[in-house]
Amino acid sequence: MLANLTSSERQNALVIAVAVAIAGAAMAIAGRADVMGVHGVIVMLFGGVVAWLVMGSLYAPEPAEDRSASYYDDPIKVGIALAMVWAVFGMFMGVWVAAQLAWPSLAFDAAWSSFGRLRPMHTSGVIFGFGGNALIATSFHVVQRTSRARLAGQVSPWFVLLGFNLFCVLAVSGYLLGVTQSKEYAEAEWYADLWLVIVWVTYFILYIATIARRKEPHIYVANWYFMAFILVVAILHIVNNLALPVSWGHAKSYTIWPGVQDAMVQWWYGHNAVAFFLTAGFLGMLYYYLPVRAQRPIFSYRLSILSFWGITFFYMWAGSHHLHYTALPHWVQTLGMTFSVMLLVPSWASAGNALLTLNGAWHRVRDDATLRFMMAAAVFYGLSTFEGSFMAIRPVNSLSHYTDWTVGHVHAGALGWVALITFGSFYTLVPSLWKRERMYSAALVEWHFWLAIAGTLIYVFAMWNSGIIQGLMWRTYTEEGALAYSFVDSLVAMYPYYIARAFGGLLFLIGALVGCYNIWMTVRAAPVAAARGSDVPAHPAAVPGE
Amino acid sequence: MAEVERDPFTGRETTGHEWNGIKELDTPIPRGVLMFLIVTHIWAIAWWFFVPAWPLGTTYTKGLLGVDQHTTVEARVVEGQRQRAAWTSRLETEPYEAILADQTLMRTVRDTGRQLFGDNCAACHGRDGKGRANYPDLTDDDWIWGGTPEMIEQTMRVGVNSPHPDSRVGQMPAFGRDEMLDRDQVRNVAAYVYSLSHPDYASAQTSARIDAGREVFATTCAACHGENARGSAELGAPNLTDAYWIYGGDLDTIIATVHGGRQGHMPTWDERLSKAEIRTLALYVYDFRNGAR
């Protein structure tokens, strides 16, 4: 892979890797009295290993002359592999914490394995590790193909991909060590956050620069969504993580946002992380791989416009629905609720656009589990986005808030929508990227599909049941006007559902393992001369555009 | 650059754009989608008129209904208190004997007490009140600080070794660790205490140790636990002659207790629960024995 870099690019890569290693050494020294020192060592090792790899082929021959005539697929391949590794890690952590809720002794009475530390390892592992790598990999693929242009940088895609994974490692290892700023989905501490800003801004510049080189007159819908994802996540991340570290040598920091404003900023971030990380980015995936696999044109360009602008505009307002009936002023809650309802139709427009695109290809949905993954993803997207708007309505929220219903809702989206669209996209992308005729085993794709569907349905139904039972138990009063149940009573009632949930998650994890094996065997197979559905070639940069 | 085509399946025209083989149809937005879009917007705008919605500098639009979550919740709290007043006022004022005699009121005490106990006491004493290692069983006849409803109420109100100014104070000193007794004395007195609840423990091998322990007990322990080792509810000194043990009644645990001492903790509930709630719980706990019998 390094052979595709020129020697000056390799030198640049070496300089960056050494700089990261030096920064790690500085962190290790400054934070030697704190867990930050451990992170310094991790950063130093990370930079050191990359530098060592680059040095190994620093003086290798120069690459073929006209790289600009071909697409840059190496970072995409690595990104897919990393996404699958993180998927298995994150989902395993999910099954573990789910099992802890049913059998608390699975925490083994140790600090590192307590629920509070393992749960963010699960959430960050699946959202950022799995989802983030999948988004980076597919966005690199989609932007090149739909722009007929090679990525605008040679080292920067690696910087984005590896830098992002360094962030994920710092985040997840930090939780294990007890490092957290206690903001949901933004638990990583200040130095990891600063690093992510550098990585993410590079990602944005790289993406925009590639779009700017496009040889197509129009920017395809998928790229609108990917750009919205990258830009908005940068804004959300920076604003929510504004914090003052207690010293340069300590992991601990304090947010600059006081009281209820901190809560509001956090959920403005948290909900838009769902909107722009877990929705917009994955809609970019949907808009490319679904029509490619279905071999059908997108149902309606006009619906695409309606849903894109509806989603980007309305989602921004909806975060306060996470804080109904709290110290947040009533009027802010009203805005969050009403904008969540106005968001419904634009969201549904995307799901509908995807499903109507399948008109004329339903026989393929029946026969091809890969396309069925994407169809099911669109259905779950539609279901969970309806559920989200419904739960944002205050009186509904008074029942659902703080219950497992919320957890079920999130997983209808995360398993049913985000993971299914990713697997469908990967099964479309992997054979074409590695120049194979098809996936190693269609039967294993079929197995993965049914394991994932069964796991998701068991999970979501268990959480709907337990959530609504919890919510009702907490609000049931006796004739005398006293609460009928104690909190422990509701926990006892949850027990069977917690077992069912852990089982559903286990099925989903097994499906992901099947997927890993299938992808691995596909990559190991011999390439075919002409891959099926080959791409329109990249436009050489030297030739002026038409 | 692709031309505008007609899709044979739907009969719609494409937009004429193409990206790596992907085309788009120029299908108009379905009427149903637009209708539903309008309905959701009308619904949202209507809410803005009825309830607090938009900021106006330092204030906000109050809404035609004049509701606010603070006033709503205050009204609900008052309504709830009014609904409960029928029995809470009796629980606050009437003597325990009167309440215990009223079966209807006691049914309310049991219903309400079960939830209160589950949310406030069960974490240490267990949902069934039977306690567990290091936490007292509340269902038996053995009470450190007294088992009448009045005494239970007092213990709940001030706590044991709590920050409350009138807290009950129960300190078992660390006789071994603080070198008030030497190693042998600790073992001897433990053997003696153990023999009080295990009469078959006395034998030819142990009698010397037990006798030596009896002397240590008389000079060191009897001040709190009494000459007869039956304890004192005023001092919170447990009875050592029965089968009830908080920390464990085996010989090793007794040695550990004499060596390292014990300072149990019971929080004060004075500020946390209302008077009616504390008295409900006192009766609920007192009532455990009726269930046990």
pLDDT > 90 in chain B, percent = 89
pLDDT value at position A542? 46
Tell me the nearest-neighbour CA distance from B147 into chain A, angstroms.
25
A26: CB partners within 8 A, 6+ apart: A40
Closest CA of chain B from A136, distance in Å? 19
Quickly state the pLDDT bin for A530 (edges 50, 70, 90): low
What's the confidence (pLDDT) of residue B255?
A: 96
Q: Give the helix, strand, coil percentages of chain A, each rounded to 5.
A: 75, 0, 25
Query: Are B52 and A329 inside 8 Å of each other by CB?
Result: yes
For position A534, what pLDDT does the model report? Answer: 62
The CATH number of B71-165+267-292, from 1.10.3720.10, 1.10.760.10, 3.40.1190.10, 3.40.190.10, is: 1.10.760.10
**CA dist., res. B82 & res. B84, Å (int):** 5
d(CA A186, CA A241): 7
Interface residue of A314, A332, A345 to substitute, partner B, most B CBs within 10 Å: A345
Query: Which residues neighbour A236 within 8 Å (Cβ) at sequence distance 6 or greater?
Result: A268, A269, A272, A273, A276
Q: Do domains B71-165+267-292 and B183-260 have the same CATH topology?
A: yes
Max intra-chain CA distance, chain B: 110
Q: Do B17 and A489 count as a contact with CB atoms less than 8 A apart?
A: no
- Would you say residue A541 has pLDDT above 70? no
Residue B222: band (very low, low, confident or very high) from pLDDT cuts 50, 70, 90: very high
Identify whether the C-beta of residue A520 lies closer than 8 Å to the C-beta of residue A196.
no
What residues in B contact A478, CB-CB < 8 Å?
A: 111-112
A27-75 pLDDT, tens digit each? 999 999 999 999 999 999 999 999 999 999 888 888 876 787 889 999 9
pLDDT (tens digit per residue) in B157-208: 999 999 999 999 999 999 999 999 999 999 999 999 999 999 999 898 999 9
- A302 with B29: Cβ contact below 8 A: yes
| Per-residue pLDDT tens over the stretch A353-377 | 999 999 999 999 999 999 999 999 9
Interface-testing mutation among B6, B19, B68, with chain A (most A C-beta atoms within 10 A): B19
Specify the pLDDT at position A540.
Answer: 61
Minimal CA separation from B54 to chain A, in Å: 6
Tens digit of each residue's pLDDT (9 = 90 or more) over A137-152: 999 999 999 999 999 9
What is the spatial distance between Cα A293 and Cα B7, in angstroms, rounded to a whole number?
Answer: 17
Element (H, E) at A464: helix A442-474
Task: Give residue-wise pLDDT tens across range A329-352.
Answer: 999 999 999 999 999 999 999 999
Query: A529: pLDDT confidence band, cut at 50, 70 and 90?
Result: low
**pLDDT value at A127 more than 60:** yes
Buried b (16+ CB within 10 A) or exposed e, B57-71: eeebeebeeeebbee
The distance of A227 to chain B (nearest Cα, Å) reads: 17
CB-based contact B27 A288, cutoff 8 Å? no
Burial class (CB in 10 A: 0-12, 13-18, 19+), A171: buried
Q: What are phi and psi of B60, to 5 degrees?
A: -155, 165
| Lowest-confidence pick of A87-101, A117-131, B80-94 | B80-94
**pLDDT value, residue B291:** 62
Closest CA in chain B for residue A486: B115
- In the predicted structure, residue B23 carries a pLDDT above the cut 80: yes
* Residue pLDDT, tens place only, A417-474: 999 999 999 999 999 999 999 999 999 999 999 999 999 999 999 999 999 999 999 9
Q: How many CB atoms lie within 10 A of CB B203?
A: 9
Q: How many CB atoms lie within 10 A of CB B95?
A: 10
| Domains of chain B by residue range | 14-60, 71-165+267-292, 183-260
What is the share, in percent, of chain A residues with pLDDT greater than 90? Answer: 92
Number of neighbouring beta carbons within 10 Å of residue A273: 23
Q: Do A146 and B22 touch (CB under 8 A)?
A: yes
Residue A538, pLDDT > 80, answer no
**What type of residue sits at position B9?**
F
Residues on chain A touching B57 (C-beta within 8 angstroms):
none
Q: Residue A4 is encoded by which pair of tokens? A: 């595709």
Q: Please state, for a pLDDT cut of 70, what percent of chain B lies above it.
A: 98
Q: pLDDT averaged over chain A?
A: 95
Domains, in order of start, for chain A: 73-524 (1.20.210.10)
B118 contacts in chain A (CB < 8 Å) = 485-489
What is the distance between the alpha carbons of residues B145 and B166, in angstroms, rounded to a whole number?
14
Measured between alpha carbons, how far is A522 from A432 in angstroms, rounded to an integer?
A: 11
CATH class of B183-260: mainly alpha
Cβ–Cβ below 8 Å for B26 and A301? yes
Q: What is the pLDDT of residues A265-289, one digit of tens each?
A: 999 999 999 999 999 999 999 999 9
Cα separation, A131 vs A127, whole angstroms: 5
Per-residue HEC secondary structure of A108-128 comes to CCCCCCCHHHHHHHHHHHHHH
Cα separation, B208 vs A319, in Å, equals 76
Name which of A380, A358, A222 is nearest A287 in CA terms.
A222
pLDDT tens profile A236-258? 999 999 999 999 999 999 999 99
Cα–Cα distance for residue pair A349/B29, rounded to 1 Å: 9
* Measured distance CA(A337)–CA(A324) in Å, rounded: 9
The overall average pLDDT reported for chain B is: 93
The predicted pLDDT at position B234 comes to 87
Closest residue in B to A144 (Cα) is: B20
Closest CA relative to residue A391, chosen from A418, A377, A410: A410
Nearest one of A266, A248, A124, A115 to A183, comparing CA atoms: A266
- The pLDDT of residue A526: 82
Question: What's the rounded Cα separation, in Å, for the pair B91 and B105?
Answer: 9
Q: Which of A444, A425, A441 is nearest to A433 (CA)?
A: A425
What's the pLDDT score for residue A537? Answer: 73
